[in-house]
Amino acid sequence: MKYFFAFIFFSQFVFSQSPYPQDYFRSPLDVKVILSGTFAELRSNHFHSGLDIKTQQRTGLNVYGVAEGYVSRIKVSHYGYGKALYITHPNGYVSVYAHLSKFSPRIQKYIKTCQYDKESYEVEVFPSPDELPISADEIVAFSGNSGSSGGPHLHFEIRDNEERPINPMLFGIDVEDTKPPFLSAVYAYPKNKRAHINQNKKRTELRLIPTSKGDYTTEPIEAIGDIGFGVVSYDQQDRAYNKNGLSNIQSFYNGNKTFEMDFKRFSFDESKHINRFIDYEVYKEKKSRIQKLFVQSGNTLSMLKDVDANGYITVEDSTSTVYKVRLRDFKGNEAWLSIPVKGKRAKEILEAPELKPNTYIIANQVNELDQGNVSVYFPKQTFYEDFHIDFSVANDTLKLHKNTIPLMKSYTINFDIKNYVEDDKDKLFIASLYGYYQKPSYISTKRLGDKLSARTKYLGTFTLASDTVSPTVKPVNFQNGKWLSKLSTLKVKIDDDLSGISNYRATINGKWILMEYDYKKDTLTYDFDDNINTETENNLKIIVTDNVGNSTTFESTFFRK
Ligand SMILES: [Zn+2]
């Protein structure tokens, strides 16, 4: 008996040791860590790969390397992470800092040299270990709002040596949180036609009843057959109202665990399966993300653990059972949901046969559709499951089902444009029609002779659109023919109506200058500190080109000493 206890004590001791080094990484900021986004929380087409740390609604806060190491990658892009820095540490982990406003002077100098060499704002470089070593507590950058960031914050990640992002809180970065997660909706799903919930053979919302302890229950459901459940839930931490993600969800049926999702680590190539994990149709139609506590074909997320019978429960006639869900945040605060389930045969319901479109997609093979001047090519495994696709073409408009079905990869749409006159062909592009007003939106289009091709990851309605109007370029902080000796930057506003900005090129007296593009403000900014030699009289020239090749040349003279 004594040995038995000793063994339990020993094994618990072993398992409670975190496999991640504690107190190795400091916080990347001086300010208290308050999160506007948690690790692996649900985002559009991906799980969030890091922490979004609040920066007091400001940009320009000091960003520290979280430990010694070396800069192993710098990427500057218009969208996505904006200005991003990657530091590789001696223990094999890589820390990532994104949406920065600028880098520390030493790193800024390094990247500007690359940008001037390549004559491009967008660059990606992989310095060798001896080029930009980083010491402990070194300021490496300043926080910002660059790229696809919706407000000033620092996006911070820790990745393992296989490029997989891991929750940085596992390394001891502490965030105050004393509040349990909360539920805002719960749904039951019959797996097939033999199952029902409250006489219903479709997704059924259950009415949530909060209990006095902060947990939840629902009215008893009557069901039969294989049933799954889904929840809309969030976690709120102390000191912020942001609706963040959970750390773990488990469900239990008759006391046995049937499902677990553990938001600890994932790899970037599986992140797309978020669209299989949530109810994609409800998300596209109502913007609400129902997390399905059952697993459907093709969902290979590694964050799914211990899933029994794919997370479905089987309800037998004349039984009375309870299905429970445990929602947990990183600090271990929990909320429970209990759903009483009564097994009861349904009265036979006569259903009207559904009218289905007659084109059938088989997910496991290549599917090609063709009509009029349009053809569509779906590679193998574009879809998670077989389905009847709604497909029609009329007046240069392709209707391809609805955007409520998730795709695993991009497919190709081709339009034949031989019936257009040559001058018009050049201005055509493929647009998707979005929203209530069916506004045409450019999708990346290539032309090969009389064929226009575009690749997309969404179903929906597509049309041929034409852009004949060139971009506009307007000076913001200067005027033609003036003295600008006191200005530290040159700023212009650029815009394109329909197909959008594709590229731009700016020179002073014929020499290329770096202009940073902020697509959220439609601005290009040149910094006089870049020290492109100016004379007394200078010629600024900016050429902006849209996605079908219309271009505008802006020229201005300024004086400086
Ligand atoms: Zn982020």
- Helix, strand, or coil (residue 11): helix
> pLDDT below 50 — which residues of the chain?
1-15
C-alpha of residue 185 to centroid of ligand 1, in Å? 25
C-alpha of residue 517 to centroid of ligand 1, in Å? 20
C-alpha of residue 50 to centroid of ligand 1, in Å? 6
pLDDT at 107 (0 to 100):
98
| Tokens coding 333 | 């605060």
What is the 3 state secondary structure string of 473-528?
A: EEECCCCCCEECCCCCEEEEEEECCCCCEEEEEEEECCEECCEEEECCCCEEEEEH
pTM score, whole prediction: 0.92
What residues have CB less than 8 Å from 276, skipping those under 6 apart? 296, 298, 299, 301, 384, 406
| Tokens coding 313 | 């429960």
C-alpha of residue 81 to centroid of ligand 1, in Å? 8
C-alpha of residue 125 to centroid of ligand 1, in Å? 21
Q: Do 339 and 230 meet the contact criterion of CB atoms below 8 Å apart?
A: no
CA angle 39, 42, 47 (to 5 degrees): 60
Q: What are the CA-CA distances from residue 136 to residues 64, 68, 89, 168 (Å)?
A: 8, 4, 11, 18
C-alpha of residue 259 to centroid of ligand 1, in Å? 27
pLDDT at 540 (0 to 100):
96
Report the amino acid identity of residue 384. Y
C-alpha of residue 319 to centroid of ligand 1, in Å? 46
pLDDT at 349 (0 to 100):
63
C-alpha of residue 37 to centroid of ligand 1, in Å? 6
pLDDT at 12 (0 to 100):
42
C-alpha of residue 492 to centroid of ligand 1, in Å? 29
pLDDT at 350 (0 to 100):
63
pLDDT at 434 (0 to 100):
82
C-alpha of residue 242 to centroid of ligand 1, in Å? 13
DSSP secondary structure string for all residues of 28-39: SSSS---EEE-T
pLDDT at 17 (0 to 100):
62
C-alpha of residue 47 to centroid of ligand 1, in Å? 10
Strands (E), 235-295: 248-253, 256-262, 291-292
C-alpha of residue 279 to centroid of ligand 1, in Å? 23
Convert the pLDDT of each residue in 303-324 to its tens digit.
999 788 899 999 999 999 999 9
